[in-house]
Amino acid sequence: MRDRSVGHRAFSHAELSWLAYDWERVGDPDVAPRWPFKVFLPRSTEDVVRAVREAAAAGEKLIVRGSGHSSNRLVTGEGGTVLLTELMDRVEVDERASTCTMQAGARLLDVDQRLARHGFGLKVVGDHGDITAGGFASVGGISPASHRFGLFVDTVTQLEYVDHAGKVHRCGPGDEAFRRVLAGLGRYGVITELTVELQRIDKQRTVLRNDRVLTGTFADFLARAEELVCNPDPALYARAFWVDLGKAGYGQISRYHLARKRPDRVLRSRLAAGYQRLIGAAVTNLPPAAGAIAKYAGVAAMVLPPIYPTVERVERFADDLADATVGGPTRMFIAIAPAEAAADVARGMLEACGAAREAGAVGPVALYLKPIRSPYLSGDRDDVRHAEITVTATVDPATMTESVLSTVVERIDDVALAHRAFRYLHTRTSEDPQRRRWLDPNARYGSDEEGAEARWWA
Ligand SMILES: Cc1cc2nc3c(=O)[nH]c(=O)nc-3n(C[C@H](O)[C@H](O)[C@H](O)COP(=O)(O)OP(=O)(O)OC[C@H]3O[C@@H](n4cnc5c(N)ncnc54)[C@H](O)[C@@H]3O)c2cc1C
């Protein structure tokens, strides 16, 4: 198989063993593999229909897998049957309609690079290049432009999917199935193709000015982050980042505006991009111990982001700087909270990790917040805003036992439930189907009657 991976030093998508794991391996390198028994490699919608029918006839649950970057055991199964979208990567651009139609296995970095040749770009793209269109659409899709464009799923205008009976459906925003399948984690069928709105932009050359605020106190950081996520902001891209070292911490709030083009700014943005890539390359190519040090340099660089980056570098920021597969293992937990509750949820998530830190299971923790204004999340209410809160914790797998991890996860879920927040379900959550349903942004659109919940979560 081709290795399409853009930035992992430790794992290759070309290895067969990749199929036995998801991103959980980054948090626990010794986690037991869950080898599938059967793998389908469709290239077309017709192939997907065939695979779905074969699996259904054999009474097998079909696990849909994009790049396997989720970490909630959604894409692995011991002895299971996996449909891998790897070979479904066709992309077509419609310049007149400002849309792009792609097969579900297309990697969004490839799509964006292809679009750049036509003077377009995706409105919402993840910061990691290996994420597939189908995988992103099945969880939601958030970027530092989500306060303008919503989730990736809000930019989708047309969807083709194959249901569990092997029937092909095409649907759009007016159809009931549309939002049910989007962010549906593969429960309602296999997304085969999707069309998304584009923006006219040159991501590689558009220089932004980062009006950043640096702060050394958590209370001040949270107050400023709250202001960022609660209020409409003219910034084109926005994010907040805090590093918690236990006794100390440091943070920054970044609002990116269009910079007037001046040769010195273009030069500074090129130097910043070079610096970003240099740290990223060091993390990827140095021997493991030195790579781990470079990774911490990358994390430090996140606290002091460049003043004049290009759009591309803002979108790929974290991934440029630190390869998560190098250095100490990390676990990611994400909540999507109503904006007014974001500060409380962020604090609660850190406290949940703090308890595990006392047991020696958690080291430094990074906290990101991104503002979101999403019709999908708000049920089309204009006045409702959300925030993505990501906690990336460095962990010691020896002390982060399954029971300690479950306690952290349940506490984070409790915090989310107390504040009517969602969890981003591609990261580890409770396994209780009822709790998962309350935490699921898709629940508003999904339906129990079809039995999909029962069938897939059982
Ligand atoms: C390093 C890293 C950086 C990330 N950055 C971001 C970010 O910036 N923004 C963000 O929003 N998320 C981010 N994520 C999360 C990422 O978007 C999700 O984990 C996403 O699901 C990964 O895509 P994938 O192709 O690997 O999906 P997989 O992990 O393979 O699948 C995820 C889910 O989608 C389902 N699925 C996949 N393909 C299909 C399909 N064709 N039809 C139906 N269901 C399908 C699977 O069954 C599973 O439930 C990041 C994750 C990592 C590891």
Whether 347 contacts 31, CB under 8 Å: no
pLDDT tens across 14-51, in order? 788 999 999 999 999 999 999 999 999 999 999 999 99
User: Whose C-alpha lies nearest to ligand 1, atom 27?
Assistant: 135
H and E: helices and strands count for the chain: 16, 16
Query: Is 68's C-beta closer than 6 angstroms to any atom of ligand 1?
Result: yes
Beta-strand pair 190-200/99-103? antiparallel
Specify the CATH number for the domain of residue 429: 3.30.70.2520
Query: Is 368's C-beta closer than 6 angstroms to any atom of ligand 1?
Result: no
Q: What is the pLDDT of residue 455?
A: 43
Q: Range of 42's domain? A: 16-84
Closest-lying ligand 1 atom to the alpha carbon of residue 151: 11
Whether residue 273 lies inside any domain: the answer is: yes
Band of residue 454 on the pLDDT scale cut at 50, 70, 90: very low
* Residue in 76, 103, 139, 425 to alter for ligand 1 test, most ligand atoms within 8 A of Cβ: 139
Whether residue 10 lies inside any domain: the answer is: no
3 CB-side CA count, 13 A: 14
Range 275-279 average pLDDT = 60
Same structural domain for residues 190 and 52?
no
Same structural domain for residues 321 and 435?
yes
* Residue in 65, 69, 153, 390 to alter for ligand 1 test, most ligand atoms within 8 A of Cβ: 69
Closest-lying ligand 1 atom to the alpha carbon of residue 161: 42
The residue from 167, 200, 233 where one domain ends is 200
Same structural domain for residues 77 and 166?
no
In angstroms, the Cα distances linking 69 to 29, 50, 129, 181, 281 are: 15, 26, 11, 19, 21
Same structural domain for residues 261 and 406?
yes
User: Whose C-alpha lies nearest to ligand 1, atom 52?
Assistant: 69
pLDDT tens across 302-336, in order? 677 889 999 999 998 777 666 666 677 999 999 99
Range 434-445 average pLDDT = 94
Range 2-18 average pLDDT = 72
How many Å apart are CA 290 and CA 208, to the nearest integer? 32
Structural domain count of the chain: 3
How many Å apart are CA 250 and CA 241, to the nearest integer? 8
Same structural domain for residues 352 and 263?
yes
Range 422-439 average pLDDT = 94
Closest-lying ligand 1 atom to the alpha carbon of residue 104: 41
User: Whose C-alpha lies nearest to ligand 1, atom 13?
Assistant: 126
How many Å apart are CA 36 and CA 77, to the nearest integer? 6
Whether residue 457 lies inside any domain: the answer is: no
The residue from 63, 84, 105 where one domain ends is 84
Q: What is the pLDDT of residue 276?
A: 58
Whether 120 contacts 100, CB under 8 Å: yes
Same structural domain for residues 282 and 426?
yes
Cα(104) to centroid(ligand 1), Å = 11
The residue from 84, 119, 142 where one domain ends is 84
Residue 297 confidence (pLDDT) above 80 = no
User: Whose C-alpha lies nearest to ligand 1, atom 36?
Assistant: 135
Query: Is 9's C-beta closer than 6 angstroms to any atom of ligand 1?
Result: no
Band of residue 285 on the pLDDT scale cut at 50, 70, 90: low
* Residue in 49, 70, 164 to alter for ligand 1 test, most ligand atoms within 8 A of Cβ: 70
Same structural domain for residues 140 and 52?
no
pLDDT tens across 372-397, in order? 999 999 999 999 999 999 999 999 99
Q: What is the pLDDT of residue 456?
A: 41
Specify the CATH number for the domain of residue 124: 3.30.465.10
User: Whose C-alpha lies nearest to ligand 1, atom 32?
Assistant: 135
Same structural domain for residues 36 and 161?
no
Phi, psi of 94 (to 5 degrees): -110, 95
- pTM, two decimals, is 0.92
Same structural domain for residues 242 and 181?
no
Whether residue 1 lies inside any domain: the answer is: no
Residue 291 confidence (pLDDT) above 60 = no
Query: Is 132's C-beta closer than 6 angstroms to any atom of ligand 1?
Result: yes
Cα(426) to centroid(ligand 1), Å = 7
Cα(132) to centroid(ligand 1), Å = 7
Whether residue 9 lies inside any domain: the answer is: no
Q: What is the pLDDT of residue 458?
A: 38
Same structural domain for residues 66 and 171?
no
Cα(319) to centroid(ligand 1), Å = 15
154: which residues sit within 8 A by CB, 6+ positions away?
124, 374, 375, 376
Q: What is the pLDDT of residue 292?
A: 54
153: which residues sit within 8 A by CB, 6+ positions away?
137, 140, 141, 179, 182, 183, 376
pLDDT tens across 129-157, in order? 899 999 999 999 999 999 999 999 999 99
Whether residue 6 lies inside any domain: the answer is: no
Whether residue 332 lies inside any domain: the answer is: yes
Cα(409) to centroid(ligand 1), Å = 19
Range 247-262 average pLDDT = 89
Same structural domain for residues 281 and 390?
yes
Of the two residues 165 and 3, the one the predictor is more confident about is: 165
Whether residue 454 lies inside any domain: the answer is: no
- Of 323, 312, 365, 270, nearest to 143 by C-alpha is 312
Query: Is 51's C-beta closer than 6 angstroms to any atom of ligand 1?
Result: no
Cα(215) to centroid(ligand 1), Å = 32
Specify the CATH number for the domain of residue 33: 3.30.43.10
> DSSP labels for 154-196?
GGEEEEEEE-TTS-EEEE-TTSHHHHHHTTSTTTT-EEEEEEE
Range 286-302 average pLDDT = 58
Same structural domain for residues 248 and 355?
yes
Query: Is 135's C-beta closer than 6 angstroms to any atom of ligand 1?
Result: yes
